[in-house]
Amino acid sequence: MGVTSSPCASCKLLRRRCAKDCIFAPYFPPHDPHKFAIVHKVFGASNINKMLQELPIQQRADAVNSLVYEANARIRDPVYGCVGAISYLQNQISQLEMQLAMTQAEILCIQMQNNQDYPSPNYDNNNYNLPEIQIDNDNNNLQQYLSLLEIINNSN
């Protein structure tokens, strides 16, 4: 920034002359002083300066946006920052997933109760080719049951 235009928000807050090649000027415009003030309060101007200088120019805008977001989160929650917000949202997702699973289970129970009112479907024309199990008290019944389980498991 030149001498004729107003200094950037960082130079204005730090009460220094804004140089033509000021690293803060592109990211902290004079019309948005709060943006730099909050980042400066959390991270400090020298740390921000070091971070920006270590990054390629094309990544600096994204870094400043991340710093502003994290600084705002740190002001709201000094201990956890944005991690606290992430944890809160993850807990909310878990609760909603449990609620969805419970609702789906209730729907399934209702559907099963409604299906009891109708005759069972005929499973004779399925693709499993399951052996018919004769119920008697010999060892052959166990073998038929085990072969049935094996066929069902292999079809899944």
- For the stretch 72-108, pLDDT in tens is 999 999 999 999 989 999 999 999 999 998 988 888 8
Are 74 and 43 within 8 A, CB to CB? no
Task: Give the whole-angstrom CA distance, residue 78 versus residue 155.
Answer: 55
Helix intervals (H) in the chain: 9-14, 33-43, 45-54, 57-76, 82-116, 139-155
pTM beyond 0.75: the answer is: no
Structure confidence at residue 130 as a pLDDT band (50, 70, 90):
very low
Task: Give the whole-angstrom CA distance, residue 117 versus residue 15.
Answer: 81
Q: What is the pLDDT of residue 112?
A: 83
